[in-house]
DNA sequence: GAGTGGTCTAGACCACTGT
DNA sequence: CAGTGGTCTAGACCACTCC
């Protein structure tokens, strides 16, 4: 009962009220909640407005919705965190630091054992780059690029433009996979990053594809101190 | 020009077509794209349908929308990856392994230098737990819990029920922060995980709050081999 | 001021899926 | 089969922001 203070509109206010009821245990985990039509009456708005509010809450993991089954409060709310994967240069500049890079290696080679390039035949563009923030090396990039997918990149001056940035702007892609892990720095890596051998690196591995064709695979190894953050 | 094959409906098909145009460079980065009314005419649907498709594309980072400014293709599309933060037990069981835990420490203590507990006065519940998959230790959990926010937890048998799981189901919370990083295993950590001292651990640090009150802070250190994965 | 996206409404039909 | 969420429509008004 107890309708809301009279004037309630906007899906956001309803969304907030829904989250409040979950947080305050008005609606308990596992509970069936009133259906959209009922809530629309209670809130005095159109069903579509309730739908929007509930859909967003479900997408965030707070509710579980099923046709005919109705809507229930999630029992074990799987929290969903959204990470931004920015262009490296912008990530550095957003910390008010100056970005620069050094191209250590540029070759055409056979990608062997490279994730995403399993069935690849012929040679691919292989890059190794050190990224610097205010002149200090903080990130090693090891990248393989499928030249069949982005032939133009063979003519780009990768000393000037980062492959990362060029690809983001010029390589259409449909999807990919990302994995995060930790790894001990090899002697070589330690030398390049000016850190102790064996130091713990934060590693991001990413494969991007267009359809079923791989475009690029990259391994980013961040020097100690790097933190990837987000809110939930 | 070239209207679509005639029958086009559903925001999802329009969404797919929009992404295709971006991918295939029909619409180039930075380009202004037709406004909603125009697209609605082209696709032969209501403006609300176009709105839904474009809104989702913008949320995913492919478009930038501004009132009056119109909609443009993002020049440097910031990829957004969504991570699921599951309950540890379920994560293990989803790999068809058996989950178990060992409670190493349970004390009331002053949280000093604990993120999120900066202004905390008095004592908090401090836990240290080893999580095992098929009997093999793979994760160290170090947790602080604000007893004022969840007094019932003081009476829970944390040997049986994981604090992680209990909190997820019983502690209402409104938000929090997560950070991911890498760290070298200390001698103690190495001993507990049966790995070499200094090995690279994947670390997740999370603070959850209700309003401005901290509920719990946890540091999860995963043994080498752990990968957190997602698709984009 | 005017153009464009953001949202709300009232009603309708459809698609799943539990009973 | 029937209840519930998912979506579409046509129209309206509002809010922001560029000119």
CB atoms within 10 A of CB B161: 16
Distance CA A28, CA A30 (A): 6
Residue A4 has pLDDT above 70, yes or no: no
Q: What is the pLDDT of residues A38-96, one digit of tens each?
A: 999 999 999 999 999 999 999 988 999 999 999 999 987 777 788 888 889 989 998 99
Out of B80, B173, B228, whose CB is closest to A180? B228
Task: Give the nearest chain B residue to A166 (CA atoms).
Answer: B76
- Closest residue to C4 by CA to C1' distance? B68
Question: Measuring CA to CA, how many Å separate B127 from each of A13, A159, B158, B165?
Answer: 38, 50, 9, 14
C-alpha triplet B37, B41, B44: angle, nearest 5°: 130
As a whole number, the mean pLDDT across chain A is 91
Residue B134 contacts strand C, CB under 7 A: no
Q: What pLDDT score does B26 carry? A: 93
Q: What pLDDT score does B121 carry? A: 87
Q: What pLDDT score does B9 carry? A: 73
Determine what percent of chain A is predicted with pLDDT higher than 90: 71
Residue A128 contacts strand C, CB under 7 A: no
Question: Measuring CA to CA, how many Å separate B15 from each of A49, A177, B8?
Answer: 21, 21, 11
- Closest residue to D10 by CA to C1' distance? B46
C1' (C19) to CA (A47) span, angstroms: 25
Measured in angstroms, the CA of A111 and the nearest CA of chain B are apart by 22
Q: What pLDDT score does B146 carry? A: 94
| Contact indicator for B43, B35 with CB cutoff of 8 Å | no
Chain D footprint positions (protein CB, under 7 Å) = 2-12, 15-18
Q: What pLDDT score does A83 carry? A: 86
The pair of structure tokens assigned to A221 is 């190894």
A2: pLDDT confidence band, cut at 50, 70 and 90?
A: very low
Task: Give the nearest chain B residue to A208 (CA atoms).
Answer: B232
DSSP assignment of A36-101: HHHHHHHHTS-HHHHHHHHHHHHHTTSEEEETTTEEEE-SS--EEEEEEE--HHHHHHTTT--EEE
Between B173 and A117, where is the model more confident? Answer: A117
Chain B residues close to A228, C-beta within 8 Å:
179-181
Bridge partners (DSSP) of residue A130 are A102, A140
Give residue for tokens 């990302």: A178
The pair of structure tokens assigned to B77 is 């599309």
- Closest residue to D7 by CA to C1' distance? B10
A24 touches chain B (CB under 8 A): yes
Out of A25, A82, A182, whose CB is closest to B201? A182
Phi and psi at A55, nearest 5°, equal -60, -45
- Among residues A215, A222, A203, A202, the alpha carbon closest in space to that of A166 is found at A215
Chain B residues close to A202, C-beta within 8 Å:
180-182
Out of A24, A201, A231, whose CB is closest to B172? A24
Determine what percent of chain A is predicted with pLDDT higher than 70: 97
- Closest residue to D4 by CA to C1' distance? A68
- Among residues A54, A69, A67, the alpha carbon closest in space to that of A22 is found at A54
A8: pLDDT confidence band, cut at 50, 70 and 90?
A: low
- Among residues A13, A18, A16, the alpha carbon closest in space to that of A65 is found at A18
Task: Give the nearest chain B residue to A56 (CA atoms).
Answer: B56
Residues of B numbered 174-203 whose beta carbons fall under 8 angstroms of chain A's beta carbons: which are they? Answer: 174-184, 198-203
A175: pLDDT confidence band, cut at 50, 70 and 90?
A: confident
B94 touches chain A (CB under 8 A): no
A116: pLDDT confidence band, cut at 50, 70 and 90?
A: confident
Residue A5 has pLDDT above 80, yes or no: no
A121 touches chain B (CB under 8 A): no
Q: Which residues of chain B have pLDDT under 50?
A: 1-6
Residue A108 has pLDDT above 70, yes or no: yes
Q: What pLDDT score does B8 carry? A: 53
> Which nucleotide is at minimal CA–C1' distance from B66?
C5
| Contact indicator for B152, B215 with CB cutoff of 8 Å | no
Between B85 and A137, where is the model more confident? Answer: A137
Between B115 and A6, where is the model more confident? Answer: B115
């Amino acid at each position: 009962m107890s309708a809301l203070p009279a004037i309630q509109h906007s899906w956001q206010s309803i969304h907030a009220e829904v989250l409040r009821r979950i947080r305050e245990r008005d609606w308990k985990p596992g509970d069936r909640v009133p259906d959209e039509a009922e809530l629309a009456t209670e809130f005095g708005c159109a069903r579509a407005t309730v739908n929007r509010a509930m859909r967003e809450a479900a997408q965030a993991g707070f509710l579980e919705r099923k046709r005919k089954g109705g809507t229930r409060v999630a029992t074990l709310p799987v929290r969903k965190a959204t990470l931004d994967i920015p262009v490296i240069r912008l990530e550095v500049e957003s910390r008010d630091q100056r970005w620069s890079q050094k191209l250590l290696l540029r070759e055409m080679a056979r990608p062997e054992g490279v994730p995403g390039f399993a069935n690849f035949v012929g040679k691919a563009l292989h890059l190794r780059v050190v990224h610097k923030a205010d002149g200090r090396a903080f990130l090693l990039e090891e990248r393989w690029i499928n030249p069949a997918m982005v032939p133009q990149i063979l003519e780009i001056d990768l000393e000037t433009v980062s492959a990362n940035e060029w690809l983001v702007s010029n390589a259409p892609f449909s999807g990919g996979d990302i994995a995060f892990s930790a790894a001990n720095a090899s002697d070589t890596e330690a030398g390049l990053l000016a850190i102790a051998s064996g130091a713990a690196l934060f590693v991001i591995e990413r494969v991007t594809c267009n359809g079923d064709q791989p475009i690029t695979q990259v391994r980013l190894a961040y020097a100690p101190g790097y933190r990837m953050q987000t809110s939930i």
